[in-house]
Structure 1
């Protein structure tokens, strides 16, 4: 299947600064692709070239297999772009804002009304659609910004830090909306400064710094770069030391130790091994009171690859 977005050797230079250095990646239909990097990594410059508001110095961008650049009208119509900055008219209501932008997209009256109703429900603003935007919280404005980006039923949705500075309810509403859109087949390019969002949403992640793509893959593939393993910590009633030899014999258990009421195991694929671990303890007559699984996460990968925290 042809990717919805495919970029190859994308390059942008500002004088002596190579802001984006031969960047390449693709986003499939129904996939959420996270572009992660510290401030100044080149994410926003990359996105600006992807959506066609900034000319590139080299490389190629394809949208649904069609060449795309700043002059491309046909391919721009396939993109929904939600920038970091709010693009709203505060004195208008949400519905009036959507009607205005729908007109810019070329939607006629009846299709526009139907689509406005759909996107308002998607971002959970339908009950306050006829209030002036000046009465909205920052999170509600962010959700309206996303609704505008969805009016044209985009093949590719580009979200540049859509949850920055929003309240918890709005953040959750935005994340749920992105998940629903992915289920409907929308390809999404997503940047964020919140690693937990990338963990929750992204099918694949590209880690960038200084304009370079340093690593790319699924969460499991990226965590594999660390050569670290999962830890399973169990609180048991008694018999921890007695159970250790049995646990060490289980396939996939690399290390096991225990004393008093605690057991700690180093394993491969902890979640798939849990039934065997619990079963072995039951056969040994050891009562399990609690289980905790600690897996290497994207934050660890990011710090390992870039030497920086995501919000640096």
Structure 2
């Protein structure tokens, strides 16, 4: 039995179908990714899991509870980290933690959370004065103040620079290491590949595929990789197309890009050596979750209209 069980979830807004028969399961102790572009149905699905929206059809169980019928019991056991906390900009960091702690019967000690998340020296700072990374640490600490068994992290690295994103990834690993199951909502494929044990890829209200990142990459693309190089002499790319393992060859400006599986890179390198063609700017890359997403959807992740009407009062 999973921590989360979703079977045939449907949600409509007028004539728009936000969720069209969505099913997936989350196991205890996982980092589980819910991925897809804006408008894919991610937010609506998570709001149904949190009990903020009632599905039109389907079955949802979170920690063995019905999110709508057992909402009060469920909220005692989950934590929610949002892109925006809804906190007054003038509130101080420790005050925010004390406020959230007051919502629970047996909360974590705010002082412990300040130390744990490296916010002790910011305890009197106003929320609006925090850097992006400090604000993210506060948001995660707020999600953990109620000692949850399960926490939802909603696009936690949006707006952060590469250094800040990687620091936040380490925070998420720390949350899981503390024994908390994590549901990570994101539209960043590299983030999901780095963090998630398993994931579900959403698009247009459906789950296109679910499983481990490695399994999805293999299923959608056949695995393999790409090599990209600039040849030192004229090269007929058709000479490479028939080599063992080569799946495709194309030109990209002055560069040649070869995709394939197995030992295709060795076959290409040998062929170039026989033709006395040297290469520059050589890069060899494994197939990524981005490639799997393109294979599954027919296009790269792209923004789309929001998948659900805003309900600020639900997220306060």
Please state which band the TM-score falls in when normalised by the shorter chain.
0.7 to 0.9
Cα separation, partners in 2 of 1:124 and 1:292, compared to 1, 3 Å: farther
Q: For 2:259 and 2:100, how far apart are their aligned partners in 1? A: 56
Q: Matched residue of 1:67: which SS?
A: coil
Match of 2:311 in 1: none
Q: Secondary structure at the match of 1:84?
A: coil
Q: 1:130 to 1:144 in 2, by over 3 A?
A: same
Q: Which residue of 2 aligns with 1:309?
A: 300
User: Contact (CA 8 Å) 1:11, 1:58: kept in 2 or not?
Assistant: yes
- Residue 122 of structure 1 and its aligned partner are, at CA, apart by 4.0
Output aligned runs, 1:22-171, within 5 Å: 22-69=21-68, 72-107=71-106, 112-113=108-109, 116-171=110-165
Secondary structure of 2:146's partner? coil
Structure 1 partner of 2:238:
none
Change (3 A) 1:73 1:202: same
Give, in angstroms, the shift of residue 34 of structure 1: 1.0
User: Where do residues 209-288 of structure 1 align in structure 2 (5 Å cutoff)?
Assistant: 209-224=203-218, 225-230=220-225, 254=245, 268=262
Unpaired runs of 5+ residues, structure 1, are 235-247, 256-263, 275-290
Alignment partners' CA distance in 2, 1:269 and 1:27: 36
SS at match of 1:91: coil
Aligned-partner Cα distance in 1 for 2:150–2:263:
33
* RMSD between aligned residues: 2.8
SS at match of 2:133: helix
Structure 1 residue ranges (4+ consecutive) displaced by more than 3 angstroms after TM superposition? 167-170, 230-234, 264-270
The residue number in structure 2 matching 1:297 is 288
Gaps of 5+ in 2: 230-242, 247-257, 267-281, 304-316
Cα pair distance change 1:121/1:25, threshold 3 Å: farther
Contact 2:108 2:146 in 1 (8 A): no
Cα deviations by residue, 1:157-216 (Å, 9 ceiling, x for unpaired): 111111111244442332111111222332111111222211110111211111101111
TM-score, normalised to structure 2's length? 0.74
**Pair 310,266 (structure 1): closer, same or farther in 2 beyond 3 Å:** closer
Which residue of the partner structure matches residue 194 of structure 1?
188
Q: Aligned-pair distance for 1:267?
A: 5.1
Deviation at 1:84, TM superposition (A): 2.6
Distance 2:283 2:120 in 1: 41
Q: Is the 8 A contact 2:113 2:141 kept in 1?
A: yes
Please give the secondary structure, in 2, of the residue aligned with 1:49. helix
Distance of 2:226 and 2:158 partners within structure 1: 32
TM-score for the superposition, normalised by structure 1? 0.75
What is the distance in 2 between the residues matched to 1:216 and 1:70? 28
Count of aligned positions:
264
- TM-fit CA distance, 1:311: 3.8
